Structure 1
Amino acid sequence: MILVTGGLGMIGAQTARALTDLGQTVVATAHRRTERPSFLPHDVIVEQLDVTDAAAVSALGDRYRITDIIHLAGSIPGEDRVAYFRADTAGLLTMLDAALSWRVRRFAVAGSLGSYLGSSEITWHEGLPLPAVAAPHPIIAFKKAVEPLTTNALRDTGIQALVLRIGSTWGPLMDPATPFNAVPPYLSSVLRGERPSALHAHDGGDFCYAPDAGRAIALLVTADALGHDVYNISSGQPFTNGQLIDAVRAAIPDAQLDVLDGRSGGPGRDPHLDISRLTTDTGFAPAFDLTAAVADYVTWRAYHAR
């Protein structure tokens, strides 16, 4: 049985869904969320769990024979950044303790494309050195720290660490007003019948639709063998705002959209994640291009608030 912490979140629920599609049994945990997504298969077991509670995590292992852990649970920082770092570090260490106690095969943990910030490359791949630059947000700072903590903690234990450098992911269940991805707020404005702010046609960057992110993670965790401990998770293709606007017009023909020429920051391109390593080791290929993702999301939002 595979454990997915944060299993009712945007990426966690899609990961649990993809695992069941691959024939796996899954227990998904959530701390504050209680609503089960409609797309989550009924045979996914859902448990309420605070991953910082070592006794509760241990008890979960007594109830289920956990063979692999996908640790996606995390909190949103408030004004007290130290409290955020303390809570999410405690959750990580508790789950690493569980991995060692249960002798799981693989321990996958959510990292971020933010680890590459400061790189002069346009296509970010796993072989790049990670720049020593100030993290612009506490989540990015924590996700970057997760990598050496996890890989070092599991070194020589027989448990394979998997760092998931997750790209700019959006989709069903994401907060429509999220500050972390511009697409859901933009689409939400259109769905409310508003005229969203004009976008520069050539701005853009990395793009990953949540169902594809979940499937990529599921393929990695269930693979017979993996040659690496760090993998980019994304579509492998950058997008531009011009393409986004075309996709929105295809899904919502009467949308009132304004586009500005060029880029907001001058000539150049925005970086995106390379997924060659993921594709080679798992055969992953994204099922959604931008047009299909927008159409799917618009259909979802017709029946769901987020």
Structure 2
Amino acid sequence: MLLVTGGAGYIGTHVTRALSTSGREVVVVDDLSSGHPELLPAEVPVEVGSVLDTDFLMDVIDMYDVDAVVHLAGWKAFDESITRPSYYYRQNVHGMQSVLAAMVRLDVRRIVFSSSAAVYGTVDDGTVTEETPAIPESPYGRTKLICEWLLRDVAAAEGIDWVALRYFNVAGAGDMKLADRGVHNLIPRVFQAIDRGERPSVFGDTYDTPDGTCIRDYIHVTDLADAHATVIDAMDSAPMASVYNVGCGYGASVLDVMRAAQQASGVPFDWQIDEPRAGDPASVVADATRIRTELGWKARHDLDDIVSSAWEAWSVSRKATMTASRQGAALAVGAL
């Protein structure tokens, strides 16, 4: 049985579905702070609780006879981490420590960890391999790097097989019900602005890039989910202690995303230029050669696929919210 922490969140629902579809038995742990368990397959049990509670994790591991963990639970907003660093260190680093403690006590010896390209910070040429020096520039990025260090050290001491997947910018939707509702992610923020008739914000246009805006490697969430299934399959057949970049291998600027959103939505919106965010690197793009050559995984979707799928799911989510609001209003009127 696989334990997926944070398995009811945006990325978690996609990963859990991919693992379940591949024939794996999965149990999800989620505190439901942003999770939606109703979007998971009916056969997947959900245990509600925090990864900070080691005793709770041990109970779940014991109850379901867990033999491997996919650790996704954590907080991930770059800008929020700057204003709430203590909270991010507690949730992310202490969360990892708690997961590892529960695994060690119950002899679970395999883990896949959700890391991030935020560990790299600013890089000279904008493209990073797994050997690129990790010099994160935000508390969020630092928590992910510390988690990787903690994982390496505990794994070496306890004989645990591990893989850390350094996600790049995850977006898109694999199902119309699985929209990204994250208020800190670029594409949902653009869609929110469109819905409100506002201009989306572009944070800075004077970076050393072709159009002056930040360049990122956008990875479709279904490709990311498939990467997890690929890694779990590989761990079944051989010991592992590896870090992998999970990205497309090419970058798109913020303005590229704006134009893709215009095309997907059919709305001819304009945007506004705001001040750059502190610690935002000009360009971070994955060199995903290692995971392709060692495990045979490769991203299949491009930026247009990502943004169009995200818009379709967003539209479905928006209609559902509007319908629920109208029904709630009708019930309220009927109660008068």
For the superposition of Structure 1 and Structure 2, which TM-score range results when normalised by the shorter chain? Answer: 0.7 to 0.9
Equivalent in the alignment of 2:24: 24
The CA distance in 2 between the partners of 1:192 and 1:156, in whole Å, is: 53
* 1:177 alignment partner AA: V
What's the secondary structure of 1:251's corresponding residue?
Answer: helix
Identity of aligned residues (%): 26
Equivalent in the alignment of 1:290: 303
Equivalent in the alignment of 1:265: none
CA contact (8 A) 1:4 1:12 kept: yes
CA contact (8 A) 2:92 2:147 kept: no
Structure 2: 5+ residue stretches without partners: 173-177, 206-210, 274-280, 322-336
CA contact (8 A) 1:27 1:46 kept: yes
Equivalent in the alignment of 2:66: 66
The CA distance in 2 between the partners of 1:231 and 1:18, in whole Å, is: 19
What's the secondary structure of 1:4's corresponding residue?
Answer: strand
Equivalent in the alignment of 2:13: 13
* Residues 110-140 of structure 1 deviation map (CA, whole Å, 9 limit, x = unaligned): 2221111133232111022324xxx432211
Query: 1:91-130 alignment to 2 at 5 Å?
Result: 91-130=95-134
Equivalent in the alignment of 1:299: 312
The CA distance in 2 between the partners of 1:62 and 1:197, in whole Å, is: 47
* 1:55 alignment partner AA: D
Equivalent in the alignment of 1:273: 286
CA contact (8 A) 1:190 1:255 kept: no
The CA distance in 2 between the partners of 1:156 and 1:169, in whole Å, is: 32
Root mean square deviation, CA, Å: 2.9
* Cα distance change of structure 1 residues 197 and 100 upon mapping to structure 2, 3 Å threshold: closer
Equivalent in the alignment of 2:231: 220
Note the C-alpha offset of 1:271.
Answer: 2.4
2:222 alignment partner, one of 195, 200, 211: 211
CA contact (8 A) 2:114 2:165 kept: yes
CA contact (8 A) 1:52 1:91 kept: yes
* 1:71 alignment partner AA: H
More helix per residue: 1 or 2? Answer: 2
Equivalent in the alignment of 1:263: none
What's the secondary structure of 2:158's corresponding residue?
Answer: coil
Q: TM-score, normalised on structure 1? A: 0.84
Note the C-alpha offset of 1:246.
Answer: 3.8
Note the C-alpha offset of 1:284.
Answer: 1.7
The CA distance in 2 between the partners of 1:141 and 1:218, in whole Å, is: 26
* Cα distance change of structure 1 residues 216 and 276 upon mapping to structure 2, 3 Å threshold: same
The CA distance in 2 between the partners of 1:272 and 1:101, in whole Å, is: 38
1:253 equivalent in alignment to 2:253: no
* Residues 41-89 of structure 1 deviation map (CA, whole Å, 9 limit, x = unaligned): 2222211121111221111122111111111111475956335423433
Note the C-alpha offset of 1:182.
Answer: 2.1
Query: 1:45-84 alignment to 2 at 5 Å?
Result: 45-75=45-75, 81-84=85-88
